[in-house]
Amino acid sequence: MPHEQKKARPTLRWVGGVEGHLRLIDQTLLPLEVTEIDCFDVETVFEAIRSLRVRGAPAIGIAAAYGVVIGAQMAAEAKLDAFIVAVNNTADRLAESRPTAVNLFWALERMRRVAENVSCGVQEALALLLSEAQAIHEEDQAMCRAIGRYGQELLRDGQGVLTHCNAGGLATSDYGTALAVFFAAQEAGKTLHIYADETRPLLQGARLTTWELQERGIDVTLICDSMAAQVMREGRVQAVVTGADRIAANGDTANKIGTYGVALLAAAHEIPFYVAAPTSTFDLSLENGSQIPIEERAATEITHGFGRQTAPTGVKAYNPAFDVTPAHLIQGIICERGVIEPVTAENIAALVAPVGS
Ligand code: MRU
């Protein structure tokens, strides 16, 4: 019997109508505290994205779209020209919050397009912006469900599956990408044994993925990142599924730092490595992964993780937040329109390009 799923608190939501605001779970406090914060101004949204209170590529895009509505509210009394300038300024500001996940720029672009094409009064334009943000939010829910349906077909009952970082409901509107595959497998009556890498340095795997899987009654075992090779050698893992932050036209995929290493290990152990991501995560303007901007975060995330100093004062530390897994290491990319396999530029173009994204 499929496990009955608990109704989780939404990762983020819009509260009220055109004069409403954004409410989101502060993910920096998980798993010990489930606390929501209210965003009434653009800087609070900006700070929430930058400091990973809301994180994960699709969730960042949705939060930013609502952030544009909040910026537009501030210009609700202005003339239409000034209103459009305010929307664009807000989008410019939010675009500076994080550089790697393309969903952020994709969502901001959709919001800009709405503002630039309005030929009505400011109040109606504001309502149109809110509907666009809500459409981005709802489409994400549908995309995640579809990813789950396609992805679960690739896994068999009883398998061990490794995942890295958090590509679950917390990283999207409600169901996730990589974790959607596990949730859908569970709904199809399959029992999977998930190995969650803790995901240094910010521990999204330990803090968020294990929490989400536990909440949904899925068997999960936490391992340190450095244990993946041994766990694979012991034959505990039959597949790897991760999310993505940006996928270039040739299939090279940026995801949380450490993903590339997991893909190499999977190849060495002949374990299929899958990426699960919606079409909004593809950036067909980039030929390959070398062009994907990689966020570098503060060294203190390594030297003073969670407020405790763990390295000598003054030591140099390098902290790239993402890496790029080359397409040839990826068995398939699971998106809401199907599974791209083998991962080639032609197959990606055929599935992703037609709808224009
Ligand atoms: O730095 P984060 O926590 O935003 O990084 C998130 C990831 O790398 C996720 O795996 C990715 O965004 C996919 S989310 C469905």
The CB of 101 under 6 Å from ligand 1? The reply is yes
**Distance of alpha carbon 22 from alpha carbon 155, whole angstroms:** 36
pLDDT at position 356, please?
Answer: 44
The CB of 245 under 6 Å from ligand 1? The reply is yes
The CB of 97 under 6 Å from ligand 1? The reply is no
Q: Would you list the domain boundaries of the chain?
A: 12-144, 148-356
pLDDT at residue 207 tops 70: yes
The structure's pTM equals: 0.96
Question: pLDDT grade, residue 6 (50/70/90)?
Answer: very low
State the maximum Cα–Cα separation within the chain, in Å, rounded to a whole number. 66
pLDDT at residue 5 tops 50: no
Closest by CA position to 11, among listed 2, 23, 28, 29: 23
The CB of 55 under 6 Å from ligand 1? The reply is yes
pLDDT per residue over 35-52, tens digit each? Answer: 999 999 999 999 999 999
Q: Give residue 277 CA to ligand 1 midpoint distance, Å.
A: 11
3-state helix, strand and coil shares in percent for the chain, rounded to the nearest 5: 45, 15, 40
CATH T-level assignment (fold) for domain 148-356: Rossmann fold (3.40.50)
**Alpha carbon 60 to chain centroid, angstroms:** 7
pLDDT per residue over 272-287, tens digit each? Answer: 999 999 999 999 999 9
Question: Which atom of ligand 1 sits closest to the CA of residue 295?
Answer: 1
Across all residues in the chain, what is the average pLDDT? 96
Question: Which atom of ligand 1 sits closest to the CA of residue 55?
Answer: 4
Question: In this prediction, what percent of the chain has a pLDDT beyond 90?
Answer: 95
Structural domain 12-144, CATH architecture: Up-down Bundle (1.20)
Range 284-288 contact pairs with CB under 8 angstroms and sequence separation of 24 or more: 284/248, 284/249, 284/348, 284/349, 284/352, 284/353, 284/357, 285/249, 286/246, 286/248, 286/249, 287/248, 287/249, 287/250, 288/248, 288/249, 288/250, 288/252
The residue ranking higher by pLDDT, 88 or 357, is 88
pLDDT per residue over 322-343, tens digit each? Answer: 999 999 999 999 999 999 999 9
Question: pLDDT grade, residue 8 (50/70/90)?
Answer: low
CA distances, 232 to each of 161, 162, 192 (Å): 10, 9, 15
The CB of 244 under 6 Å from ligand 1? The reply is yes
| Residue in 30, 166, 174 to alter for ligand 1 test, most ligand atoms within 8 A of Cβ | 166
pLDDT at position 184, please?
Answer: 98
Q: Which residues does the annotation mark as catalytic? A: 245
